[in-house]
Structure 1
Amino acid sequence: MENILKQDYKLDQTKFLNQVHVFAPATVANMICGYDILGFAVNEPGDEVILRKTEELGITILNITGDDGKLPLDPFKNTVSHSAWKLFCDLGLDESFGLSVELHKKMPIGSGLGSSAASTVAGVFALNELLGKPLSKDQLLPYCMEGERLACGSAHADNVAPSLFGGITLIPSHEPLIVRSLPVPEELYVALIYPKVDVPTKEARRLIKNNVPLEKAVKQWGNIASLIAAIYEKDYDEIGRSMQDEVIEPHRSLLIPYFDEMKKIALENNALTFGISGSGPTVMALTKSEQIAETIVSEIEEFLNEKSIEYFSYVSKINQQGPYLKK
């Protein structure tokens, strides 16, 4: 694989650390109407990576927790070590010392919350911190996208960009790669409910139609444009009205049990909007207050209990920081 960095970097080894512990946030990709181009980060859940320098050359994964044994310990098959090692080699350090990785999953795998993205971002960000922060987040982003390529076959940025930069991100182009950070209306909260059913990302992507009727496409373009304007204007009602999807949701929602019933509960309890987080099965409701978000979670939890469906739930503001060092 070619070197992603466009120049050589003189690294100050006196700034290198021996160990760092990093948290990276989960994300809500697509924001319903913005398939593959919009996403935002949340305060919880997220993943944690502990990265250490070692005298032995190469990279090893010492331990993974919270994955129920699903993730590979082979460092070249795991998104965290794969992406961090790519950056490490591109910086010319692979003959200087080695790295060891611990990954602690704090969210469900395959949940539609950007699980692989959070792990990858945590690993790449951790390496940059370990090396004294020689690179900007803009320079780290392509390495995070390489983790997505390994995880699902496509180097998309709608999860890794918000996890890395925090806040709400718009990715209008991948070639060239362009990421825009959008303002975050301060009263926005998100209610997240993950019903414990399996919806693999690759399978969910296969349901998407290659051809979209022009009428639906025009409506979708209008919704995206209106959503971005409403975000800048802090128009909460218009944010909710704009986040509607007739292109992706009708197909993916079929994989999520009781999607329509959960949507009805959320809207009846004053959600601004309701839809699928990423490829699902996590669903999300945007609200204008924490209390409304808590009420929606409580009502949907009661419904899922009646249907004997296990779940995880979270209420969060939009994370505007991205990854950070844990003490």
Structure 2
Amino acid sequence: MSLTVYAPASMGNVGVGFDLLGAALAPIDGSLLGDRVSISAADSGVSLTQTGVWAHKLPANPEENIVFQCAQFFLKTLGKEDSGILLNLEKNLPVGSGLGSSASSVVAALYALNEFFDKPFDEQALLALMGEFEGKISGSVHYDNVAPCYLGGMQLMLNVSGTICQAIPSFKEWYWVVAYPGISLSTAMMRKLMPDQYDKSVVIDFGRYLSAFVHASYQHNAKLAIEVLKDVLAEPYRAAAIPGYDKARSALSDLGMLTTGISGSGPTLFSITDDLNTANAAKAWLEANYVTEAGGFAHVCRIDELGTRRVD
């Protein structure tokens, strides 16, 4: 038996929902923007090969890769340490991009392992395991990348009564233009730029904007959703650390984009419109002006409603 799993790129925070809101991405050209993990039986032990356009950024020793460690932990949990499996990680997302790169690898690996061993973990248990492992890389456990990557759609983090997250409605008419400039930024470093404490007024604004965005999503009030899609916690402190971000935000507004924000901790940005021509114009501008290094890219996307799935 062998199988291959695809886990899509994701936007953490979605601007307005720091650590509490995330969305999966699907380029409208039909390409798959995310990592893949293949698994097959082997004689004994865990083996990992690393391929893909960003494989050169991974640890040279496969045993240092989080996918290898996921497999070891998974087999130990099942009491099947003697099982032989061969994994291949096809690394298609850049590390430190703000597109849920580590989450994509972890989610694809654990989903593939769960499928290969006849689904010993249910959805919530597997999601908890994904969050734990992704947290080993980012420095803390938060689900705003792993949840949408795994389950698809726009996910709101709850962490109550055994329920980690639930989907909220997304605006089907929106195009999400995402652009990765080609540089990497450490999530842990970008978190350190944020203050340890906030003024009461900022905290109130955060709660107001996020609750209003969720309300607007259920009411399908796109105008209100755009009006309140503001990041008062992270962007004011992170924007200056992302080369060209402020210039891009202004230029995208001039092009007619409805709003722009930082995807995760950056440097990828997202920008929203309900007009395809405007989206394509924004993509062209970003490719010419924001994508500055080899490996950078821009895509016009919708929300990926499918999440992680088998593609073998």
Superposition pairs of residues 94-243 of structure 1, within 5 angstroms: 94-95=81-82, 97-173=83-159, 178-243=164-229
Aligned match of 1:87: 74
Aligned-residue CA RMSD (Å):
1.9
The percent identity for this pair of structures is: 31
4+ long deviations beyond 4 Å: 73-76, 174-177
| Total equivalences in the alignment | 306
| 2:14 equivalent in structure 1 | 31
**Pairing partner for 1:317 from 302, 305, 311:** 302
**TM-score, normalized by length of structure 2?**
0.92
Residue identity matched to 1:41: A
Structure 1 residue identity aligned to 2:213: L
Alpha-carbon distance between aligned partners in 1 of 2:81 and 2:56, rounded to the nearest angstrom: 28
Unaligned runs of 5+ in 1: 1-17
| Structure 2 SS opposite 1:156 | coil
Counterpart CA distance in 2 for 1:177 and 1:86 is 23
Cα drift, residue 75 of structure 1:
5.1
Deviation string, structure 1 residues 42-74 (Cα, Å, up to 9, x no partner): 124100111112121x21212333225221254
Partners of 2:160 and 2:268 in 1: CA distance: 26
Aligned pairs (5 A) from 1:270-309 = 270-304=256-290
Q: Quick one: distance in 1 between partners of 2:234 and 2:199? A: 13
Structure 2 unmatched ranges of 5 or more: 27-31
TM-score for both structures, normalised by structure 1: 0.88
Structure 1 residues 122 and 248 mapped into 2: Cα distance closer, same or farther (>3 Å)? same
Change (3 A) 1:155 1:233: same
1:54 aligns with 2:42: yes
- The answer to whether the 8 A contact 2:260-2:271 is kept is yes
1:45 aligns with 2:33: yes
Residues 124 and 163 in structure 2, CA contact (< 8 A), matched pair in contact too: no
Aligned equivalents of 1:246, 1:206: Cα separation in 2 = 16
Give distance in 1, aligned partners of 2:3 and 2:61: 21
In structure 2, what residue type is equivalent to 1:94? E
Contact between 2:209 and 2:228, CA under 8 Å: does it hold in 1? Answer: yes
1:61–1:73: 8 Å Cα contact kept in structure 2?
Answer: no
CA distance in 2, matches of 1:73, 1:319: 32
Say which structure, 1 or 2, has more relative contact order (CA 8 Å, 6+ apart).
2
Q: Which amino acid aligns with 2:171?
A: P
Q: SS of 2:11's equivalent?
A: strand
SS at match of 2:176: strand
Report the Cα offset of residue 240 of structure 1. 1.1
